[in-house]
Copies of this chain bind each other. A is one copy, B any other.
């Protein structure tokens, strides 16, 4: 059920002492091959953390031997010293594993603007190395948690044309700051399929575009987002691009769903589906505009089917539609018809955690869904108290 489900991988998660809480805070994932191909996508935030700058370089040649991840500190906005600390972490991993530092991806998550305690990180790498095991994936998933209430793992097993099985596994962390071009989200995906790095890259980008990129918890974009996919080739399976894409997208979708389901302080998970749009881009911007409306999100928290706030968010976009042709349904009740009052809003049941908002643009046949959360007292509480 995790990243060590695919053959050819070992992982570990340990307590390095970075977190004041004493919880696990350092993870190591190693690809034992025979293949070492890899791809990754990173935050599009121009204020990117030191480990993002480092790891972009590492992945650029399509080979990765190991990924080291720490929680308890983002190592973002930490200047030259921060970059040196990322480099030193990679060197330490390279030393214990006998690989090149230039093949070690580094990920960090936690508070921005503080230097990492290297006197904890480096011994932590030693400890993680000693703990590496073929069933260490779940320990790694636990060690990357920050405000997550549960660890997130997923797995998918497929079959290639010759009937050989291959597996894709994943772990993820992230509970706030979920947004466009990813979110404070660290994701490690593994597969034992035999896939060249350039093909991994295409498959990963396509999967991220329709999963992580459409999970938009609070519209904020992290400095540290990293999604890395490693292939060991240990199953000797040779899935087609479609077969691999199905497996990777499935794992990414499950992880994205778990991230939204555990978003900080949320009491509702909201899917905003826009359909009959002139283009997929139109459908996406309309759904995202609603997902970013604090007024709409607060209304859902209050179990108030306030479709006026949906329409006012739709009206700020440049998508193709006529205001007097918009239809909105909430949990199956058509509360807005042709831009005006539809069925009785009191028929909408917002007691369940799951909410489905459907927006009909009557302008074409494209659609897209954005997943978000409601805006709650607990969101405010957690995010006003996070660094203090």
- Which residues of A pack against B, CB within 8 Å? 44-48, 74, 76-79, 81-82, 111-115, 176-177, 180, 218-223, 292-295, 298-299, 301-304, 306-309, 311-317, 321, 323-324, 326, 336, 338-341, 345, 375-377, 379-381, 383-388
| Chain B residues, CB < 8 A from A326 | 47
The residue of chain B having its C-beta at the shortest distance from the C-beta of A296 within the complex is: B220
15 contacts between A and B (CB under 8 A): A47-B315, A47-B323, A79-B340, A81-B340, A113-B336, A114-B341, A115-B341, A218-B294, A220-B293, A223-B311, A298-B380, A302-B385, A302-B386, A376-B380, A377-B380
Determine the main DSSP class of A at the interface with B.
loop
How many copies are assembled? 2
If A294-B220, A308-B74 touch, does A387 touch B339 (CB 8 Å cutoff)?
Answer: no
| Chain B residues, CB < 8 A from A338 | 79
- Of B112, B176, B312, B385, which one neighbours A112 at CB under 8 angstroms? B312
| Chain B residues, CB < 8 A from A309 | 112, 220
In the complex, what distance in Å separates the CA atom of A336 from the CA atom of B293?
30
| Chain B residues, CB < 8 A from A316 | 44-46, 180, 221
| Chain B residues, CB < 8 A from A299 | 383-384, 386-387
In the complex, what distance in Å separates the CA atom of A162 from the CA atom of B95?
84
Q: Output the least CB separation between A369 and chain B (Å).
A: 21
With a 10 A CB-CB cut-off, give which of A46, A345, A376, A386 has the most chain B CB atoms. A46
If A113-B341, A375-B380 touch, does A312 touch B79 (CB 8 Å cutoff)?
Answer: no
| Chain B residues, CB < 8 A from A341 | 77-79, 113-115
